[in-house]
Amino acid sequence: MDRLLSTPELLLTIFSFADKGTLLASARVCQTWSPQALDYLWRDLDSVVPLLQLICPTAQSGSHGSWTVEDKTAQKLIHFMLQRPINLKSFSFGSSIPPEQISHYLVQLISKSPQLESITLPRYYQTQIIVDSLGHLRKLKSLRVRHKWNQSQDPRGQALSFPPGRFPELNAVEIDAPIPEITRILMEFRPAIKLRDLTISCAHLNNEVHTAALIALVAQCRPELLPVHSGIHREHDFEEMAQAWPNLQVLTLGPESERQGAGGLSWNMIPIMANPFPNLEQLSSYFSSIDKVSFAGDILPQAEFRSLKKLEVGMSATPKDHTALGFFIGAHCQPLISISCEASVWEGRWRKNSDAVKWQDVENVARRVHQAKLEMRKRWRFSGNGEDN
């Protein structure tokens, strides 16, 4: 190679006129060109993904923009990021590296990312020093837990605290902790924190007293959206939730369980939940396939969801008579409803529901019921025989 093309100052001038494709190709040419080209690539980059294959040739691409690299490579990657200007807006990181070995690098990364709006970390990386550094980010809106990595380091971490002057824009928080720790965290919420999305993951929440106390405590936060991964499956629980959150829009009750056919929310709870939650737009749950669906043929029942448009069933199996289930769902929902059976990343990987085709049949039946209900109501209004239920 001509020595002239190895001059750093000249390379910087040339690369300043290059587009991203040219810069990416140039970064692969040689060790002399790589750092100069990467400097320009990095300046306007919102994500590290385009550089992962370049820096980490062994990185494996996963679904939904996730990448898997070895722990040693992860440390090298963060070190590389710290050497350049950072403009990250969203960052999700998981590793089995002990917190004490990587906290220093994560704190540096956070301090150099003033534009960061969303961060997802395993529970054991949400230590006091890291949470303190996150509190200084003026644009941070979402703080979540990456569950895939929680098993190797439990029960350390998630030392959440919300002192005055910190987290000014935070509106989405995920808490994964025992009940005493959840209670402590919720007690620290201030009116200045305008929560719209509160996710609570609490294992072994099957005590009625604890459940009622937790519902009452969270009610003070008044979130419009409330995913709750817990053991809230009783009629009394839903009655208390409706009283505490009359404007609830999204309710998640753990749709990712792998207990095929066992446990889960009974479909017979749907009529009980319908009227108390008039503003509910999305319901997600793992449903039982064992309970027989109680449907007597009335497609205009008294109990109807007024706003429910999306039903997420996760890994739930369909009951034996899934056609009857379609009639049942369509009857208890005023809007046209869609049904999703895709599992989320709660278990750390994406899987397909083996009953996906049957769930599509259930949705099709529910849609036909919806059309029939519209026609019946039109005829009633036209004939003047009565008003809508």
Domain range spanning residue 298?
253-348+380-389
For residue 59, is it within any domain?
Answer: no
Tens digit of each residue's pLDDT (9 = 90 or more) over 284-296: 888 888 877 878 8
Residue 251: its pLDDT value, please?
83
The more confidently predicted of residues 293 and 70 is 293
State pTM to two decimals: 0.58
pLDDT in tens, 31-63: 788 877 877 776 666 555 565 555 555 444 444
Q: Is 242 inside any structural domain?
A: no
Q: Is 297 part of any domain?
A: yes
From residue 152, alpha-carbon distances to 124, 149, 286 in Å are 9, 6, 26
Query: pLDDT at residue 304 above 80?
Result: yes
For residue 258, tell me if it sits in a domain: yes
Round to whole Å and give the CA distance between 235 and 293: 17
Tell me the range of 137-151, 339-353, 368-382 where mean pLDDT is highest. Answer: 368-382
Cα–Cα distance for residue pair 315/255, rounded to 1 Å: 6
Position 137 scores a pLDDT of 92
Distance in angstroms between the alpha carbons of the first and the last residue of the chain: 81
Q: What are 83's two structure tokens? A: 């050497």
In a domain, 20, yes or no: no
176 occurs within a structural domain: no
Q: Write the pLDDT tens digit of every residue in 167-226.
A: 888 888 888 877 778 878 877 776 556 777 878 777 655 566 666 677 777 766 655 555
User: Which stretches of 197-269 are DSSP H helices?
Assistant: 208-219, 235-244
For residue 61, the cross-strand partners are 67
In a domain, 185, yes or no: no
Q: Which residues pair with 174 in a beta bridge?
A: 199
Is 325 inside any structural domain?
A: yes
Among residues 48, 83, 42, 82, the alpha carbon closest in space to that of 65 is found at 48
Q: Which residues contact 151 (CB under 8 A, 6 or more apart)?
A: none
CB contact burial 104-139 (16+ within 10 A = b; e otherwise): ebbbbbbeebeebebbbbbbbbbbeebbebbbebee
d(CA 42, CA 51): 9
| Nearest one of 262, 316, 274, 269 to 293, comparing CA atoms | 269
Helices (H), 32-146: 33-43, 49-55, 71-82, 99-111, 128-135
Q: Alpha carbon of 154 to those of 44, 126, 148: distances in Å?
A: 37, 12, 12
Lowest-confidence region among 4-8, 11-15, 19-23, 144-148: 4-8
Instruction: Please give the tally of structural domains in the chain.
Output: 1
